[in-house]
Structure 1
Amino acid sequence: MISTNRLVVPALFLTALASATAQATLPDPARVMVEAALAGGDDAEIATVQKYAQKAWPENAAEIEAQVNAWRTAKTAAALAVASPETNTTDAGTTANTKTAEADEKQRAERKPVPWKGKGELGGYLAKGNSDYFGINAGVSLKHEGEIWRQTVKAQADYQENDGEATRQRFVFAYQPNLRVNDRTYVYGLTQYEHDRFLGYDSRYSLSTGIGYRSPTDKKVSLELEAGPAYRFTNFVDGGSESTPAARGSISLEWKLAPTLTFAQNAAAYLDGLNNTVNTTSALNAKLFGPLSARLSYNVQYESAPPDGKETTDTMSRVSLVYDF
């Protein structure tokens, strides 16, 4: 096939030849006027100059018209060459590559860093009279989800006093990176720190890795399961310590009961030869307005072999406000 450029070149040559012929026969004043108007490129100005030049030199009217027509023909041919797509294989390939490069550059410009998302939780109570009660619970969870990696950071603090004496003091911090295998499966790592002297341990560190599964998150009910080996190191309040391998498993369920009401159930268990731990939280979240929600939750912490004098089960009910950011 013949490209537009191959048609434009002869046209430009012929129009330039006609223009040169016309200029050769024009008087110098007429030639200067017409050339100045053509150099300006304004069609209205060119038409005006042509009109008065033909009146001033009627014997050269045909030459003036030929020069103007030659300029217009050349202008039209040049515009066609720019506007028309190339039809030969090489030019078409070059055009396609250019468009692809431009599209890639646009995507890179529009791609923005994935932000961290999170929730902040705060609740508490204060009572004075025959007995003084004070309690506060606070927590924050952060999540960053990219194309391959997902990271979560969680921190929780519970503190309670009865008549000026602490009756609950629990702190938890956890960091978990997940490596996506496919849309449903991932490999996780987990490091966790706990402090709860009323359950008998001053500090407990847990490390775990394993396989996780996520159900589709756009459904009414979503589920997440994890399982893998773990290792725990515990410092007890009485000064003793122990370290042991363990197995870890967890389940997280979220059920959208209504557009503004969600039920969540989270549970995690560590099983080892010395002490088994189960932590479970049931929560009901009601959206109030904007990013603010009310949360009612019930937590159970179970230790199969606590230190002497400690209960195996500890429970906590919370009413708190949650802010999404």
Structure 2
Amino acid sequence: MKKLLTATAILLATPFAALAGADFVEGDKTFAADAELGATITTGNTETTSLKGRLDMKHELGNWENQYLLEALYKEDSGEETGKRYYGLIQGNYKLNDVSYLFANANHEIDPFTGFDSKSTVSAGYGHKFVDTGKTLFAVEVGPGYQYKRLDDASALAAGDDTEESWVAHGVMNFETEITDSSKFKQLFVADYGDSLEGRSETSITANIIGALAMKFAVVVRYNSEPADDKKSTDTETNMTLLYSF
């Protein structure tokens, strides 16, 4: 845990150290957020519950672009918990110019159904927007990171230790484009490569219903090249949710 705290301090300080002597331009303050919610509940011969919630907030202040993300997923079948995932992310981007920026990122995930009680990752590096027209965005981020995992009891017994720590190479590719005036397509890839390769792909289509209310269809694929014992390498998640922008 001490290594994680040290790595966090180093990685989060790296982009800010590079800003020493840089000019700060005060710009417009803007804030935007998307709140997302989906649920499936059945009763009778089959009793199941599935809930998905997400809050994605973005704040711009001068040269800074900050993101705050919270996600929650819960599934239950006949009174038995079959899925649970909680995820939180904070990222700060400092714009060097219109297309380049430095980023610092910290995220934490709780997903006991993967064999890990929790996973924390911190990273920092350089981002570049190859396309940014207002309607289409294609951006890539790369940099070093550090990952800390806490194993569940069964996985810890098999591994002989209850934690795993490693430096990772962190990469993100984000593509967004407007299909029509009322619909948007997004494709996000996130990868961390260290002692193992872990990746996440999120593909989504959002269609406006009325005003700030929209319908979102998303497919999320998670991959781990070295999963815990008796766990699969790939998890998939398909969601249909309502999304409200404000």
Partner of 1:169: 84
Distance in 2, Cα, partners of 1:133 & 1:188: 41
User: Which residue in the other structure is 1:306 paired with?
Assistant: 227
Q: Which of the numbers 106, 112, 116 marks the counterpart of 1:201?
A: 116
Structure 2 counterpart of 1:280: 201
Unaligned ranges ≥5, structure 2:
1-25, 157-161
Q: Match for 1:313: what amino acid? A: T
User: Could you say which residue in structure 2 is the equivalent of 1:253?
Assistant: 175
Contact persistence 2:28–2:60 (CA under 8 A):
no
Q: Give the equivalent residue in structure 2 for 1:30.
A: none
Segments of 4+ moved more than 2 angstroms:
215-221
Query: Alignment partner of 1:198: what SS?
Result: helix
Highest CA radius of gyration, 1 or 2?
A: 1
Q: CA deviation at 1:179?
A: 0.9
CA contact (8 A) 2:27 2:62 kept: no
Match of 1:231 among 140, 146, 152: 146
Taking the aligned partners of 1:129 and 1:311, their CA distance within structure 2 comes to: 31
Residues 110 and 117 in structure 2, CA contact (< 8 A), matched pair in contact too: yes
Asked if the contact 2:29/2:62 (under 8 Å) is kept, the reply is no
Tell me which of the two structures has the higher relative contact order, counting C-alpha pairs closer than 8 angstroms and 6 or more residues apart. Answer: 2
Q: Which amino acid aligns with 1:261?
A: S
Distance (whole Å) between structure 1 residues aligned to residue 58 and residue 121 of structure 2 = 20
> Which residue does the alignment assign to 2:8?
none
2:133 maps to amino acid: D
Deviation, 1:217, is: 3.4
Percent identity between the two aligned chains: 27
- Residue 231 of structure 1: how far off its partner (Å): 0.4
Displacement after TM superposition at 1:113 (Å): 6.0
TM-score, normalising length: structure 2: 0.84
User: Where is the helix percentage greater, Structure 1 or Structure 2?
Assistant: 1
Q: Which residue of 2 aligns with 1:291?
A: 212
Relative to its length, the structure with more strand (as a share) is 2
Question: Cα offset for 1:216?
Answer: 4.7
Residues 149-202 of structure 1: CA distance to partner in whole angstroms, max 9, x if unpaired?
111000111110111111110111000001111110000000000011111111
**Cα displacement (A) at 1:219:** 4.5
Residue among 173, 177, 180 paired with 2:95 = 180
Take 1:189 and 1:237, find their aligned partners in 2: how far apart are those partners? 29
Tell me by how many angstroms 1:218 deviates. 3.0
The corresponding residue for 1:142 is: 57
CA distance in 2, matches of 1:123, 1:216: 32
What is the CA RMSD across the aligned residues, in angstroms?
1.5
Structure 1 residue runs of 5 or longer lacking an equivalent are 1-110
What code does the residue aligned with 1:117 have? A
Partner in structure 2 of residue 119 of structure 1: 34
